[in-house]
Amino acid sequence: MPKEKPLRWEPGHPQNASSGGPIASCRMRIALVCPYSCTVPGGVQTQVLGLARSLRSYGDEVTVLAPAERAAMAGRLDTANLNGATFTRVGDGMAVSVNGSRAPVSPWPTTMARTRRALHAFVPDVVHVHEPLVPGPSAAALLSHRWPLVGTFHRSGADLAYRSYGHLAGRWHGASTPSLPCPRKQPSPPRRA
């Protein structure tokens, strides 16, 4: 486990100005892992790249590990366009039909090996894995349980893989979903006595 970092007051921290008072903060090394090619437009990819830019604005050191097609990388994935975050290409994406769409994934053992090597080279304080159950970079990060893990499950609905997530829960330090499915029937308001 990485050594615990001391918290310190950051006078230039964006939250200080909005909250009116000092806050304690700790600059972190954060690895964002995305299973989908970041050179192909998509909701998860957009959220991962936006999160990288946002975390950089708070002063964190951020790297994005994801598939990308080499010829399409120029511009969108440059450090300047990611607000100083770095992008590490771990393989090429290949369109696979899943969940009613075509997902540009890279499920190859070489992609998983590159992901593990990149994590070991970066030495993150935390690894944020998007779509942790998708084969490729996300699965490799999930299996490399050397660092604290946070996961975001973007997929709607629950199949066998998602229902069996419970046995992996002990590896997570946190998990989230961007949005919850809407209930079919709204609950009745509580009755007043």
Q: Which of 83, 42, 46 is nearest to 63 (CA)?
A: 83
Confidence grade of residue 20 (pLDDT, cut at 50, 70, 90)? low
Find where tokens 């609950």 sit: 187
The residues, ordered by sequence, that sit 6+ positions from 192 with a Cβ below 8 Å of its Cβ are none
Q: What is residue 153's predicted lDDT score, i.e. its pLDDT?
A: 79
Averaged pLDDT for residues 53-63 = 94
Confidence grade of residue 87 (pLDDT, cut at 50, 70, 90)? very high
Side-chain-side CA neighbours of 6 within 13 Å: the count stands at: 2
pLDDT digits (tens, 9 = 90+) for 103-139: 899 999 999 999 999 999 999 999 999 988 888 999 8
Q: What is residue 1's predicted lDDT score, i.e. its pLDDT?
A: 44
Confidence grade of residue 187 (pLDDT, cut at 50, 70, 90)? very low
pLDDT digits (tens, 9 = 90+) for 154-164: 766 655 655 55
Averaged pLDDT for residues 55-63 = 94
Is 50 exceeded by the pLDDT of residue 151? yes
| 31-176 homologous superfamily | Glycogen Phosphorylase B; (3.40.50.2000)
| Top-confidence residue, 150 or 6 | 150
Averaged pLDDT for residues 11-22 = 51
Is 90 exceeded by the pLDDT of residue 26? no
Confidence grade of residue 72 (pLDDT, cut at 50, 70, 90)? confident
Is 80 exceeded by the pLDDT of residue 50? yes
Concatenated DSSP letters for the chain? -PPPPPPEE-TT-HHHHHHSS--EE---EEEEE-SB-TTS--HHHHHHHHHHHHHHHTT-EEEEEE---GGG-TTTTSTGGGTT-EEEE----EEEEETTEEEEE---HHHHHHHHHHHHHH--SEEEEESTTSTTHHHHHHH-TTS-EEEE----S--HHHHGGGGGGGGEEEEE-SSPPPPSSPPPPPPP-
Q: How far is CA 94 from the centre of its chain?
A: 20
Q: What is residue 170's predicted lDDT score, i.e. its pLDDT?
A: 53
**Percentage of the chain lying above the pLDDT 90 cut:** 42
| Predicted TM-score (pTM) of this structure | 0.75
